[in-house]
Copies of this chain bind each other. A is one copy, B any other.
Amino acid sequence: MATDGLKDMLGRVSLTPVDKAKAILLEALGNTSIETERCSLPDSLDRILSTDLLSPEDLPTHPRSTMDGFAVRAADTFGASSSMPCYLEIDGDVDMGQMPTGEVFQGKCFRIATGGLLPKGSDAVVMFEHTIPVDGKMIEVVKSVGVGINLINRGEDIEQGKPALPQGHLLRPQDLGLLAGLGIAEVDVYRRPKVGILSTGDEIVHWSESPPPGKIRDINSITLSASCTRLGAEVTDYGIASDSEETFFATLERATLENNVVLFSGGSSVGMRDLGERVIEKLGNPGILVHGVALKPGKPVIIGLSNGTAIFGLPGHPVSAMVCFDLFVQPALQLFAGFAQPTTNLTPSITAVIDRNINSAAGRLDFVRVQLQEQENSQPLAIPVLGKSGSISTLSRAHGYFLIDEPAQGLNKGTQVEVHLLS
């Protein structure tokens, strides 16, 4: 599959703009069908709903007081003020956790605590603070209340049959609270997406080994695995597959059959990149979607698809791999996780000003890592973290990053930028 796009300086590689690459990927993945499973409410934290949930009942099921005070007939208090209080007789108590017995008649009231059920006849609650005791049986009300004041009505939180939470919703603590309140003890959620991770490159040894001269420890597999775990995926490590093209193809083929998403990395050199491309093309159906994007760092990413499994050949440089992960792998994983497009695309950021001029090539998206420094009486400073993209320590040192969009040819010192934290 050919893709249009920008050219490399020698015209060797057709570079695709980042937004276009993402659109090609997500369109190719299309309406992925994902398996679901049933899950107990406490186990459903951070899982994604696979059905629309409707409320099985009114919440609350009865009108309840939201204040400590007295359940009254609102009309009895009309016109009451501190200069002209009205007087009500205490004719009963609402016991917590009990259906109230008796009825509030005209000129009378019941003591009620927060959460107590409104007794028959009452339609409002006067706060304790707005009453003065006259004796054990009588109060002065110094402020009038309207009907429905200081109480929550039946179904006011949520009505029976109304949508509680939509399909594709990530279940957060507050959502579990809502479902607990509705008595929903089990929910249907999407299965966690499966991710397979391979490392390639003749120079790579497992990070737990002591590398002989000329070799280095594999960094990307643990970084990518942890990033996938944080997004709720189940990760399988297929190890280092670099003996031969046959071994690499066989391992990638197996990983593609067994997972929704496959990541391989380590192939930064032209040779490894060519190998990655050949192998994805050989897997086919449809094979390569994008090779090379207008992005720094992260240019040499390869994005492919084979029988519904998304395959990413990530750059070997750890920083480049992480940038490509955030821009391409994360949205694909969210799609396989069943995560619905959020109702708002707004993402929180910290507004800062850059402390120096920064160059950028036009036509390329630049991902600039920065440390933030608070300043007295002015916006924080964004200080670029220098270091090559092969340097993993720069990612640990950076607080966040900002983007320089494709049209810009760099930014001047003092320019305001939106910094996104690296969490």
Contact = CB atoms under 8 A, between A and B. Distances in A.
B113 A270 contact: yes
A181 to B, nearest CB: 5
Interface in A231-247: none
Interface residue SS majority, chain A = loop
B223 A174 contact: yes
B422 A172 contact: yes
Q: How many copies does the complex hold?
A: 2
Interface string A380-406: 100000011111111110010000000
Interface in A163-181: 164-165, 172-178, 180-181
Given A96-B203, A114-B316, A129-B8, A343 B399 contact: yes
B420 A42 contact: no
A2 interface: no
Contact of A62 (B128, B213, B387): B213
Interface string A95-121: 111111000000000000111110000
A27 interface: no
Nearest 9 CB-CB pairings of A with B:
A113-B269, A348-B348, A180-B207, A177-B223, A173-B226, A97-B202, A174-B395, A97-B203, A114-B268
A99 B348 contact: no
A66 B214 contact: no
A392 B177 contact: yes
B185 A129 contact: no
